[in-house]
Amino acid sequence: MQQKHKTLGEFIIENQSEFQYSSGELSKLINALRLAAKVVNHEVNKAGLVDVLGAAGDTNIQGEDQQKLDVLANEKFIQTLSNREIVCGIASEEEDDFISINSNDKNHQNKYVVLIDPLDGSSNIDVNVSVGTIFSIYRRVTPIGTPVTLEDFLQPGRDQVAAGYIVYGTSTMLVYTTGHGVNGFTLNPAIGTFYLSHPNMEFPVDGKIYSVNEGNYIHFHQGVKDYIKYCQQEEGDRPYTSRYIGSLVSDFHRNMIKGGIYMYPKSSVTEQGKLRLLYECNPIAFLAEQANGLAIGGRTRVLDIQPTELHQRIPFFCGSRNMVAKLQEFLEKYH
Ligand code: AHM
Ligand code: MG
């Protein structure tokens, strides 16, 4: 049994043996993400001071250009991972192409690539609503010591070695999995340490919350429309409660704790859906399954989709097992 009040650092060391490839490299990598998370957390917490410190695009008193927070978060994560030389490649939602680290160095033995959405839901920052960072880690498929290629990043989600998110909410939490369940750590801002606060997180099998941007209802496919109507009907434990923050990490986090379903369907205006397979859907789907939930992209299991491009979008549904299964019944009716 895991004891409470363990620090994230202690937890990583104690659980290193569970990593399939336990050279300590993955532990170092998660430690680096933890460090970057603290830096970004500090910046996100200052966001309300933007009028005092200067808005993005302005020049501050030291003559430095102010940056948008999502650009800054992107830089912090990339810098931390590249400077510590613990990965061979990074792909980010904020970058057009992947970044190869020391790709010409034959002695470079690092085997992991990281895919990251540095600040998801960033349109929420201006109104002081929670945002998050999402990360996904794979073992490269090309030989160690050679430059990484697109193939190293276009792996199906089921091959993830680890995935997680940081939610910058009323408190800041880092939640991750290495394929052995999901654990959540809360930052004590006074001393800058993450503590294990949510061991073995699991979705309740049933839930009563549905999360979807209902403003787009008219554009949804019939199966999704019917499921939404089902959620609203008065019968048994329905109608369900509607909760939508518009920040995937926060909506997912709440639903995992309370029981619920998150939906971002494709529609007549967004034919592929909105969310990105590699930076958002795969890591969240890995967490969902590790927490005894389900994640589907249309009718397929998200983790089985073979990616074809870095910034690919898919329709995305995830959450409590019975809720996703019910939605699937509605989707099947129209196929
Ligand atoms: P982003 O990567 O541009 O921040 O977009 C992703 C976000 C998710 O966090 C959120 O669930 C969704 O977009 C909200 O989209 P919408 O405003 O269309 O409902
Ligand atoms: Mg995003």
In a domain, 278, yes or no: yes
Closest approach atom of ligand 1 to CA 119 = 4
User: What is the model's pLDDT at position 286?
Assistant: 98
Residue of minimum CA distance from atom 16 in ligand 1: 246
| Residue 138 counted as an annotated binding residue | no
- 169/237 same-domain check: no
Question: Are 170 and 270 in the same domain?
Answer: no
The answer to the question of residue 3 being in a domain is no
Probe residue for ligand 1, chosen from 247, 267, 270 as the CB with the greatest number of ligand atoms within 8 Å? 247
Q: How much is the pTM?
A: 0.94
Distance of CA 203 to the CA centre of its chain: 16
Q: Which of 115, 120, 133 to mutate to test the pocket of ligand 1 (most atoms within 8 A of CB)?
A: 120
Provide the number of structural domains found in the chain.
2
Say which residue the tokens 């920052």 belong to. 125
Residue 140 near residue 111 (C-beta atoms within 8 A):
yes
Burial (0-12, 13-18, 19+ Cβ within 10 Å), 21: exposed
Whole-number Å distance, alpha carbon 297 to ligand 2 midpoint, is 16
Local structure of residue 328 (DSSP, 8 states): H
Co-location of 190 and 220 in the same domain:
no
Same domain, 293 and 179: no
Confidence (pLDDT) at 4: 60
Q: What is the pLDDT of residue 23?
A: 65
Regarding whether 272 and 308 lie in a shared domain, the answer is: yes
- Per the domain annotation, does 1 fall within a domain? no
Which CATH number goes with the domain that contains 87? 3.30.540.10
Instruction: Kindly give the distance from the C-alpha atom of residue 123 to the centroid of ligand 2, in angstroms, as a whole number.
Output: 10
Q: Is residue 268 part of a domain?
A: yes
Query: Residues 140, 35: one domain?
Result: yes
pLDDT given at position 61: 52
Shared domain check, 188 and 69: yes
* Nearest to 44, CA basis, from 146, 145, 147, 118: 118
One DSSP character per residue, 125-171 reads: GGGT--EEEEEEEEE-SSPTTS---HHHH---GGG-SEEEEEEESSS
280 is in an annotated binding site: yes
Q: Using alpha carbons, select from 307, 262, 311, 310 the residue that is nearest to residue 285.
A: 262
Co-location of 229 and 314 in the same domain: yes
- Which of the residues in the chain have pLDDT under 70? 1-4, 18-23, 50-67, 103-107
Sheet holding 112-120, edge to edge: 99-100, 89-92, 112-120, 131-139, 162-168, 172-177, 182-188, 193-198
- Does 232 lie in the same domain as 192? no
323 Cα distance to chain centroid: 21
List CB contacts of 55: < 8 A, sequence separation 6 or more: 66
Residue nearest to atom 4 of ligand 1 (CA): 121
Q: Tell me, what's the pLDDT at 29?
A: 92
Sheet containing 241-242, strands listed edge to edge, beginning at the edge strand earlier in sequence:
241-242, 209-211, 260-264, 316-320, 293-297, 300-301
User: Measured over all CA atoms, what is the biggest interatomic distance in the chain, rounded to whole angstroms?
Assistant: 65
Task: State which ligand 1 atom lies nearest to the alpha carbon of 131.
Answer: 9
What's the pLDDT score for residue 282? 98
Looking at residue 203, its pLDDT comes to 98
> Which CATH number does the domain housing residue 304 bear?
3.40.190.80
Whether 68 is covered by a domain: the verdict is yes
Ligand 1 environment, Cβ below 6 A: 120-122, 213, 246-248, 274
Asked if residue 322 belongs to a domain, the reply is yes
Task: Provide ipTM, 2 decimals.
Answer: 0.96
Q: Of 175, 200, 225, which residue is a domain's last?
A: 200
According to the annotation, is 244 in a ligand binding site? yes
- The answer to whether the CB of 289 falls within 8 A of the CB of 303 is yes
123 is in an annotated binding site: yes
Q: Do 226 and 186 belong together in one domain?
A: no
Question: pLDDT tens digit string along 216-239?
Answer: 999 999 999 999 999 999 999 999
138 Cβ contact partners less than 8 Å away, ≥ 6 residues apart: 112, 113, 115, 152, 153, 155, 159, 160, 161
Is position 63 within any domain? yes
Give the domain range for residue 113.
8-200
Which residues have C-beta within 8 Å of that of residue 125, sequence separation ≥ 6?
A: 44, 47, 69, 119, 131
Q: Would residue 274 count as lying in a domain?
A: yes
Same domain, 259 and 111: no
Domain finish residue from 200, 228, 244: 200
